[in-house]
Amino acid sequence: MSRIRKFLAEAFSELRKVAWPTAHQVRVLTVLVFGASLLVGFYIAFWDLLFTEILKLINPA
């Protein structure tokens, strides 16, 4: 039981040393991640559509 208590005490001690982001930083970075994900999604969708249409021209079914 003392090992668990020691582990938790050390874990909380380390968490106090972490440089946590501010709420503003979290919002900005979240928007950035969503924006980048959207751009990558559109990029992949564009090439997928393009290659699908090319394959339809080569092999119409």
Does some domain include residue 6?
Answer: no
9 part of a folded domain: no
Question: 56 in a domain, yes or no?
Answer: yes
Range of the structural domain that residue 29 is part of = 20-61
Residue 11 lies in a domain: no
Number of domains in the chain: 1
Whether 38 maps to a domain, the answer reads yes
Span 30-39, pLDDT tens digits? 999 999 999 9
Considering the entire predicted model, what is its pTM?
A: 0.67
pLDDT in tens, 36-59: 999 999 999 999 999 999 999 999
Residue 40 lies in a domain: yes
Name, in order, each residue with C-beta under 8 angstroms of 5's C-beta and a sequence gap of 6 or more: none
